Amino acid sequence: MFEAAYETTFCATHVLTKDGAPIEPNHGHDWRVEVVAGGEQLDAIGVVVDFEHLKEAVKAVAARFHYNDITSHPDFRGVSPSAEAVARYFFDEVKKGLGDEGRHLLRVRVWEAPGCSATYLPPVA
């Protein structure tokens, strides 16, 4: 099995909610995101996924939140923006952004702060 990963950071605020109501004050983090693709075989140029494609897809998603409030983003309407929910969101959106290469996406790990991370792995089919 081969794995290729890309990591980036962005600064954003969020508020965890329960039943649509805030349960804490709005606060910010220097978020860190790692996206991992993998596969048993390499393509014609010897890679699992092109790093430039992976980088573009991850940065495009991170740009939606950089210096913004995740809670107010339309895609998080009705969703508490926990690190777990952010990891799942990145997985789904990066997969779309990669097109055909998205089939190689394995997992996304998100850190809110040093030592505090959440990972999303899709269900096994």
**C-alpha 53, offset from chain centre:** 15
Number of independent structural domains in the chain? 1
- Residue 27: inside a domain: yes
36: how many CB neighbours lie within 10 A of its CB? 21
Q: What is the CATH number of the domain that holds 76?
A: 3.30.479.10
- Residue 125: inside a domain: no
Domain span at residue 67? 2-120
Using H for helix, E for strand and C for coil, what is the string for 19-86? CCEECCCCEEEEEEEEEEEEECCCCCCCCCCCHHHHHHHHHHHHHCCCCEEHHHCHHHCCCCCCHHHH
- Residue 41: inside a domain: yes
- Residue 115: inside a domain: yes
As a whole number, the mean pLDDT across the chain is: 95
Q: Does residue 125 carry a pLDDT above 80?
A: no
Model confidence pTM above 0.85: yes
What is the pLDDT confidence band of residue 97, given thresholds at 50, 70 and 90?
Answer: very high
In sequence order, what are the beta bridge partners of 69? 13
